[in-house]
Structure 1
Amino acid sequence: MTDYRASFDAAIAFSNGGDLSVHGFRVDLPGPAAGESEIAALFVASLGLLMTDTVELTNVRIFAEPHKGTRGGPSDSASGRGSAGPGRALVSGRLVELGRLSGDGGTCLEAPGGDLAAVPLGRTVDVPAVVVRVAGTARPVGVGSLAAFDVRDHAVLLHTGGSGGHGLTVEAAGWLVEQGVALVGTDAGSLDDGAHADGGDGGARADGLDGGARVGGGARVGPLAREVLLGAGVPVVERLAGLESLPPTGALFTAAPPRLEGVGHVPIRAYARIPG
């Protein structure tokens, strides 16, 4: 079987300020038909670049060459991407409350298919967590904010600081599904809050790392990110609290709902266990 790689120049801008340029960078590809969006995500993952806002690729060239083991790429066995996660061992550790009181809107879980009874415990109990910090930025959460993390069989928790405008883009939701995410949560009031707002001249983003499901004036086009996730069997948790107390990785997240048949949305008590 022939392996393929890509060579390219890239200009990266970060949501917390600063930028980076590279020339002649190479990554392993899953096949010769990989598009610029996929190449950009592999590039961000290979370097572990956090808070990536935009990536612009130029001089892209795809060619046959044996894989070198790009981090997060198709031949990286160490990352666990593309393979089933290991069994979870029982651990002790400090518990951190992550739920809001019901009087403050309350932390809620929405179940795929509108049926809480069908949600597997493996998606909601002691799930390894990835905390993606986007507080202080003013853009929706795109693939660039996520690609540095190994999210397979993980709960991806968006730490927005509770402010608006940090909704998950449709493209990012699709990427999470492809990567095998277990659950997606946010401390914002809605996972889709601001994800379809234009915030500028109405033009769609063309950097390949941010969902463009919007038109001038912020009108919605196509499905919401939550619909993409729920349609793929991924539970959604909203209005979390205390995410600033969690490390970026290493915590175990629990948001187990009651087993109610035919009920799709319910308040829950969410918490995390920090081993150690």
Structure 2
Amino acid sequence: MMTMSTYRARFDATVTFTNGGGLQAQGFFVDVPSPDVTPGEVGTLFLDSLGLLMAGDVVLDKLEIVEAAHKGTRGGPAAAGTPIGGRPEYVELSHVIRDRMVTLPNLPGPELGKHLTREASREIYAPGTEFDIGRISMVTNTGTYLDSPFHRYRDGHDLTGYTLERTIDLPAVVVRVEDSGRLTIDAVTLTPYEVEGKAVLLHTGDDARFGTAQYVEDAHFLTRDGAEWLIERGAVLVGIDAANIDDMTDGTRPAHSLLLGAGVAIVEHLTNLAQVPPLGATFTATAPRIEGLGTFPVRAFATIR
């Protein structure tokens, strides 16, 4: 898939207000539509991103345009979503499941084998006709997977409890935290985003370490107050491209407990979120309807129309 370059402006700013007073910002970033954006346009985007009222003059200093993924700043080029037209693009967001792969170091990898080989099938079928029937043995927490409430709660619904409406073509919002300098994703981080009825995809960049011992080290996670904020504001699904949606040193698993307790679906071990725009895409992650299981691998993808 061809991905168009996106750009952000980095600058210092001084704002004076028409009713008195002023504001200074250092090293501020906003999304911009192109590398040719003017200082005046950047100044307008800066004011829109903060929702500042009665702003007068805006003076920019150290303005630099850098190629970087959009964060979805308010008033920026992603605010109106992705333009509609032409054939949809699809972004693969799930890891490939391979024999003996490592998802998490404390879980066994899947074992792939054959129930019926092509060679053996020749004894069963007519000449020139052959089939391959494979088999797989794995824990359900393998690759990219969907959690249902039964994963955490005995009386929660299992995978069969998810209707198609809850896991297909959900409007998505991507929260980019890979360069935040913090491992925590809290309520303050989430405050700028409109999440009601949406799949909230937490882009940490940790997927670059998937399959290595470093994947579980210094992993990003959603905090308790972040989970509470998402529930209160009506998110329907939360995905993350890290080793766990929770802090793995906290045995109470507050994000799992709160989200699944509220019926909010969780998808862990996503990948390629850098290719998904902050707004305008939809998210799909469906698992087989298996009775009695709380978790299972999914084919997760984003649709960009």
Q: TM-score band, normalised by the shorter chain? A: 0.5 to 0.7
Match for 1:165: what amino acid? A
SS state at 1:180 partner: coil
Q: Does 1:110 align with 2:105?
A: no
**Superposed structure 1 runs of 4+ greater than 3 Å apart:** 46-49, 220-223
SS at match of 2:232: helix
Native 8 Å contact 1:114 1:263 kept in 2: no
1:224–1:133: structure 2 CA closer, same or farther, 3 Å change rule? same
CA apart distance, 1:140: 0.3
| Distance in 2 (alpha carbons) for counterparts of 1:123 and 1:144 | 26
Structure 1 counterpart of 2:88, one-letter code = G
Q: Tell me which structure has the larger Cα radius of gyration.
A: 2
Deviation of residue 165 (structure 1)? 3.3
Change (3 A) 1:152 1:100: same
Q: Distance in 1 between matches of 2:246 and 2:27?
A: 27
Q: Which runs of 5+ in 2 are unaligned?
A: 1-22, 29-48, 53-73, 80-85, 104-142, 150-155, 207-214
Distance in 2, Cα, partners of 1:259 & 1:160:
30
Deviation of residue 104 (structure 1)? 5.1
Deviation, structure 1 residue 92: 5.2
Preserved contact between residue 247 and residue 253 of structure 2 (Cα < 8 Å):
no
Note if 1:257 corresponds to 2:287.
yes
For the residue of structure 1 that corresponds to 2:160, the secondary structure is: helix
Quote the RMSD (CA, aligned, Å). Answer: 3.2
Q: Distance in 2 between matches of 1:118 and 1:251?
A: 25
SS of the residue aligned with 2:183?
Answer: coil
Normalised by the length of structure 2, the TM-score is 0.52
TM-score by length of 1: 0.57
Give the structure 1 partner of residue 173 of structure 2: 130
Task: Label 1:161 to 1:262 Cα distance change in 2 as closer, same or farther (>3 A).
Answer: same
Q: In structure 2, do the counterparts of structure 1 residues 250 and 266 end up closer, same or farther at CA, with 3 Å as the change threshold?
A: same
1:93-242 alignment, distance < 5 Å: 93-102=88-97, 103=101, 105=103, 106-112=143-149, 113=156, 115-136=158-179, 137-162=181-206, 164-193=218-247, 220=250, 223-242=253-272
Q: Secondary structure at the match of 1:250?
A: coil
**Pairs within 5 Å for 1:38-57:** 47=50
Deviation, 1:193, is: 3.4
| CA drift at 1:161 | 0.4
